[in-house]
Amino acid sequence: MRRGRDRLIAIVWPVALGTLSGALLLLVLLPIAGLLFTSSPGQLLRGLRDPLVAPAIRLTIATTLASLALIVVCGTPLAWLIARGRGRAWRFLETVIQLPVVLPPAVAGVALLLAFGRRGLLGPELAVFGIGLPFSSAAVVLAQSFVAAPFYVQAAVAAFRRLDPDLLLVARTLSAAWPRVFFTVALPLSWPALAGGAALSWARALGEFGATLMFAGNLTGRTQTLPLTIYTALESDLQTAQSLSIILVAVAFALLVAIRAGGRR
């Protein structure tokens, strides 16, 4: 009796584990395979000749790099403050800054419009200076920064929290004021984690779609980044959409490998 049950478990358990894992793996891998193997290299190259492609690549590189710069330059000090902050207000702030991660992109788009749009919170003030953010490349940068910043800030906060407090204190006893402690001890020691966070952030900015579409629109050369180009091309030329998708998959995969390699060090 016992023996029979043992044998049953020995068969059913591995089969169950394998089937369920396999189903999820297929769900992830099949679409990637579809992207890679349904067109010949020649067709894919032809897809890249679409007039929408070149401006989209230029715009995507420019806006994501601008977003990354904004996120790193402002996010590093913010992360430092949160990591060193004591008390409930800082913990609350840490939660708030993570909000865009779980926010639906459509909601992010509406929120950005209601903040920076012509009839938004800052609309009248911006109009005074002749600044109309929506449907500009600047709007693309804002949308990307909004959704991508939490990834960098979170990584930086964790890195700064891991610093041995004795290192910072000893630096101060050696006459280093806070700015010097930050630049000569905290930053060099946190550098690998900050780079990993920046890479994640950049990957997220590269893929930004929903918030950009709603807040910045879909204007070729101005706000049409690669994900928006894919969306647009889908209606006319599936080949172009496929070619661009493969480029984004390759970049995303390279970033993922780099981040994991960096994390192991």
Among 173, 235, 264, 265, interactor with another protein by CB under 8 A: 173
Of the pair 121, 169, the CB lying nearest another protein is at: 169
CB of 179 to another protein, least distance (A): 10
Q: Determine if 170 is a binding residue for another protein (CB under 8 A).
A: yes
C-alpha to C-alpha distance for 238 and 47, rounded to whole angstroms: 8
Among 4, 188, 235, 265, interactor with another protein by CB under 8 A: 188
Of the pair 54, 169, the CB lying nearest another protein is at: 169
DSSP string, 167-219: HHHHHHHTT--HHHHIIIIIHHHHHHHHHHHHHHHHHHHHH--HHHHHHT---
Sequence-distant (6+) residues with CB within 8 A of 92 are: none
Look up residue 217 and give its amino acid: G
> Which one of 73-81, 98-106, 116-124, 166-174 is the stretch in contact with another protein (CB under 8 A)?
166-174
Q: Determine if 184 is a binding residue for another protein (CB under 8 A).
A: yes
In terms of Cα–Cα distance, which of 198, 200, 223 is closest to 212? 223
> Which one of 24-32, 105-113, 184-192, 256-264 is the stretch in contact with another protein (CB under 8 A)?
184-192
Based on DSSP, count helices (H) and strands (E) in the chain, helices before strands: 14, 0
Among 31, 164, 254, 260, interactor with another protein by CB under 8 A: 164
228-232: Cβ within 8 A, 24+ apart: 228/56, 229/52, 229/53, 229/56, 232/52
Among 25, 167, 234, 238, interactor with another protein by CB under 8 A: 167
Eight-state DSSP code of residue 221: T
Q: Determine if 161 is a binding residue for another protein (CB under 8 A).
A: no
CB of 183 to another protein, least distance (A): 12
CA atoms within 13 A on the CB side of 189: 15
Distances in whole angstroms, Cα of residue 41 to Cα of each of 52, 57, 107: 19, 19, 38
Q: Determine if 193 is a binding residue for another protein (CB under 8 A).
A: no
Q: Determine if 172 is a binding residue for another protein (CB under 8 A).
A: yes
CB of 94 to another protein, least distance (A): 19
CB of 171 to another protein, least distance (A): 7
CB of 191 to another protein, least distance (A): 9
Binding site for another protein (CB under 8 A): 164, 166-167, 169-177, 184-185, 188-189
